[in-house]
Structure 1
Amino acid sequence: MTGEPPQGAAGEEVRSLEVRWIFPGRLETAVTGWFGRFPIETESREDSYLLDPRLPGLSVKVRGSRAFEVKMYHGSPGILEVAGRTRGRLESWQKWSFPVSLPGQDSAYPGGWQPVRKRRRISRFALAGGQIVTRASQLDQEPQCDVELTEVSTIGQNWWTLGFEASGPADLLRSALEATARLVFNSPLPGGPEPGLEESKSYQQWLSQPRS
């Protein structure tokens, strides 16, 4: 399988710069309050990730029974660091998304797919005039960064994740993500966990690791 989209398929292509941290256990109320400093949207859905066969450098999933997504990893441009607050591994991705119509979320997927239930809180930011501002809708030319705080349930276990995804002009992705991270982490994450390199990983990397 290659990193190119299916021939003749009508889909959307996006390049992004991302960083994500994943923690075990249930999301604490103090963390949701911390994130609630910003305007948020909420969404609940089930995604299914292809884990077998293993496709190095690719992440393949069905998103909420409505889209088939393929993401190709383009390497890490370095480390995101907000002094005294967080460190995370930046990852460059290219994503293709194709609309599909599939049975409901309760339908069984074939072997090799792992369902992941998510309850997402999303806050959206844009870099405008050198300043990070909250935004309510998609902007055509401005670099932007979505931040999500997500409760995750899979194979009977509870986890939660904090992720940043910057999109827009390629030369401004890192500036947008770093400025958003400084704003979000101007108040430290409560409850003890400090996002670090050990917790920094993509969904695909996390799902591929053995867990007790």
Structure 2
Amino acid sequence: MLTTSEIRWFYQGEVAPAIKNWFTKDVLRENCQTFEQREDWYLRIPGCEFLGVKLRQKQLESKLRVAELGVLYLSKNVIGSAEKWVKWSCDDPEAESLITSEVVAKGEWVKVEKARSQIRYLIADDGSLIPTSTTGTSQVGCNVELTQLIVDRDRWWSLGFETSGKSDDLMPILEAVTNKVFQTFPEEELSLRNSYAYPKWLSLFV
């Protein structure tokens, strides 16, 4: 089980060039990563914004929202809603058999094509951010990700922050990372009405 504090935005269409350039040059810095291509399947749960079930390759993952943490005002044009989630995952070599042609035809699962670039930040003793890998660390940190999405040939993009690690209080880290990262954000708007997690986003396609 993994507990996370998160904030995320979704927008339809292609990511604005100014935001993509900001993410590549300011957020990723010297750890610039290419966009990783992947394909996830999400269980369709109409009207449910607090529970998500995802299948990626042979891993089945579920997420439950356990608290709404309030609104963060991160700059004059960036406002978002923070949430606390609990995640469970299991590896199952038979998991892919869930996505049969019959299941796909019924629309019980939604295929989401992703091109994602991300980095993880740790907090140094002096409060500065330390960029590191998103894998192979149990230290408390915050993943920052920019993702381009395709659902039924409909294009979207998402910017997200996910704080995780062995800590009961992840919110201060989420606030510290978002406040520093958004200091160089371009003159683009990230609004409260577009700030939500994957389950609510997926409900738009029901």
TM-score bin (small chain): 0.7 to 0.9
Indicate yes or no: 2:196 matched with 1:201.
Answer: yes
TM-align CA RMSD: 2.3
3-state SS in 1 of match to 2:87: strand
Q: Contact (CA 8 Å) 2:46, 2:203: kept in 1 or not?
A: no
Residue 7 of structure 2 corresponds to 19
Query: What runs of 5+ residues in structure 1 fail to find an aligned partner?
Result: 1-12
3-state SS in 2 of match to 1:33: helix
Superposition map of 1:17-166 within 5 A:
17-37=5-25, 38=28, 39-41=31-33, 42-52=35-45, 57-63=50-56, 65-101=57-93, 102-103=95-96, 108=101, 110=103, 111=106, 112-129=108-125, 130-136=127-133, 138-140=136-138, 142-166=139-163
| Change in 2 beyond 3 A, CA 1:74/1:98 | same
Instruction: Say which is worse superposed, 131-140 or 93-102, in terms of deviation.
Output: 131-140
Higher helix share: 2
Identity of aligned residues (%): 32
3-state SS in 2 of match to 1:77: strand
Q: Displacement of 1:134 after TM fit? A: 0.9
Query: What runs of 5+ residues in structure 2 fail to find an aligned partner?
Result: none
CA distance in 2, matches of 1:49, 1:109: 16
Count of residue correspondences: 194
4+ residue runs of structure 1 moved beyond 6 angstroms? Answer: none
CA distance in 2, matches of 1:210, 1:51: 9
Q: Contact (CA 8 Å) 2:58, 2:96: kept in 1 or not?
A: no
TM-score w.r.t. length of structure 1: 0.82
| Change in 2 beyond 3 A, CA 1:89/1:204 | same
| Change in 2 beyond 3 A, CA 1:66/1:46 | same
CA distance in 2, matches of 1:27, 1:108: 32
TM-score w.r.t. length of structure 2: 0.84
| Change in 2 beyond 3 A, CA 1:31/1:25 | same
CA shift digits 1:176-203 (9 cap, x unpaired)? 111111222111235x4x1111100111
